[in-house]
Structure 1
């Protein structure tokens, strides 16, 4: 009986491997191999045209001395550190409102998600139109309230706030995920708290947010990774033409320039590995911190 059982298990294993073999081959060819090869390229001087020349850790030493790496890291970190909390707060506020509107929620879900369908290049162009310091719509609205708006697209200190404001345009997917989490919060818990005299704010802080903290944690991780990889909107607005501004020089943009404008593929690979390590470290820190603040149903 046991040999027959082992034979059946081996047969099932072969069948399972056969079914998932397209994914295994695809992952090996298009993910694992490029990652491994980029690690090798990061140790070489490679200009795409000539064969890679092994130079050891010289690319990493150059990164330490490159002032643009520090500028790009600062811009990206500042952008992400401000954007992610705003995305969560803004999206959670909209999701809570949607959770209260009843039958109209379907229409508003669609309306909030539609901006996610806008191509990132179009968002970059829209940024220049809306945040133009002379005749942009944002400054026109501020002027209506007697506020003299800044030059969002040319003054260095205001460029990143403008990019952050424009990025809030596409929070629809985050809103939908949070709305799904809110609808899984047991209504009985709110009813019990209401009977005990808890007001809306107390129920939100003490019940709703803890119950969806796992979803919030997931979104913080995903949006943080996306923030560190921000590229298209800023590149379209500030580097797609002859005009450029270092206040909008994000890390992914500098990596792209090194790889495809200057053909420093080895140096760009080293930059990519540094970004990978930074994201891994930040994610690990977030997981450690989450043990104190994230509630998992059924956990200890």
Structure 2
């Protein structure tokens, strides 16, 4: 078990090293002079020279990388060119809405998706299976922003039941916080519910067809015992995989959803940084997002050992 964990940790560190190199080269590989790109069309030669000196672009590339890597390891992701604030500080200011939306989305997606998948597998070929399969196909095919506009039209504009956009911090009041997150959470959850439900159905259906499941049924095992004590446990590895991928996929889905619903989270911060050509902010968010992605995959890999002990060896 220790050797397996060590291998996964080494693999994660290697991946993060490659991500770090890519993020560092992002600014340096930009078309034209990065200092000119940052300075904009109205920048003079003196301004461009000042930007190059500020960013250390006149130093050799290895020297720049070592300096940047040491700064990142020390918690310094640079300074925003547009906001004139530390990048890490900007990200932390926008973190609460993104974390709130992500936690609610993954909770709803896993709860509903796994339940739908189990029900569809248990009633395979029936009406429930056909309806859930149709929903999964439709939900996985429709883009998130289309679902978002549909939800806004029906539940905000047409009926006025929910607010169209915005965010209320949880420390002010729980109800406004939850009410403002209902539409974006449901919108972002639809494709993940469909994805998780399809994988859960296929995995549980495969386990239910095994000989030991027929033996358990012949011995009088209850439906609850067969589904949750046998089928779901043995189908856990693929379901854990898709849950991990769904959680990691929220990194990109949050950007679209926060833009549609005007939520001031990290996703909106990335969009604003792209529009303002604020490369330090883009680099910082990419680095932290990639680190979170690698961490989630590492946790999922390690959780396999709880579901299938054979992986330990």
Q: Into which bin does the TM-score normalised by the smaller protein fall?
A: 0.5 to 0.7
Q: Which moved more, 1:119-128 or 1:54-63?
A: 54-63
The verdict on how the C-alpha distance between 1:64 and 1:41 changes in structure 2, with shifts beyond 3 A counting, is: farther
Deviations 1:234-280 (A, max 9, x none): 31232xxxxxxxxx2232321121122x2212332222112212332
Instruction: Kindly state the Cα deviation for residue 48 of structure 1 after the two structures are TM-superposed.
Output: 7.1
The equivalent position to 1:272 in structure 2, one of 274, 282, 286, is: 286
Aligned equivalent of 2:26, options 38, 42, 45: 38
The CA RMSD over aligned residues, in Å, is: 3.4
The count of corresponding residues between Structure 1 and Structure 2 is 244
Cα 1:297–1:190 change in 2 (3 A) is farther
The TM-score, its normalising length taken from structure 2, stands at 0.65
Counterpart of 1:27?
A: none
3-state SS, counterpart of residue 263 of structure 1: coil
Preserved CA contact (<8 Å) 1:39 1:270: no
Structure 1 contact 77–228 (Cα < 8 Å) conserved:
no
C-alpha separation between the residues in 2 aligned to 1:79 and 1:32? 27
| 2:23/2:283 contact within 8 Å kept | no
Give the SS at the match of 1:75: helix
- In the alignment, what sits opposite 1:6? none
Determine whether 1:190 maps to 2:203. Answer: no
TM-score (norm. length: structure 1)? 0.68
CA pair 41-77 structure 1, distance change in 2 beyond 3 A: farther
C-alpha distance 32-152 of structure 1, shift in aligned 2 (>3 A) = closer
1:183 alignment partner, SS class:
helix
Q: Which of 129, 138, 141 is the matching residue for 1:117?
A: 141
Q: CA deviation at 1:35?
A: 4.7
- Identify the residue that residue 259 of structure 1 maps to in structure 2: 274
Partners of 1:122 and 1:115 lie apart in 2 by 11
Verify: 1:285 aligned to 2:281, yes or no.
no
| Cα displacement string for residues 123-173 of structure 1 (whole angstroms, at most 9, x for unaligned residues) | 22123223318824xx3xxxxxxxxxx647456212223311222333223
Unaligned runs of 5+ in 2: 1-18, 57-67, 80-85, 169-176
Relative distance call for 1:73 and 1:65 in structure 2 (3 A) is closer
| 1:83 and 2:105 matched | yes
Q: Following TM superposition, by how much is the alpha carbon of 1:222 offset from its aligned partner in structure 2, in angstroms?
A: 0.6
Shift of 1:197: 3.8
CA distance 1:155–1:37, change in 2 (3 Å): closer
2:78 pairs with 1:60: yes
Counterpart for residue 73 of structure 1:
95
Q: Is the 8 A contact 1:84 1:224 kept in 2?
A: yes
Q: Is the 8 A contact 2:97 2:264 kept in 1?
A: yes
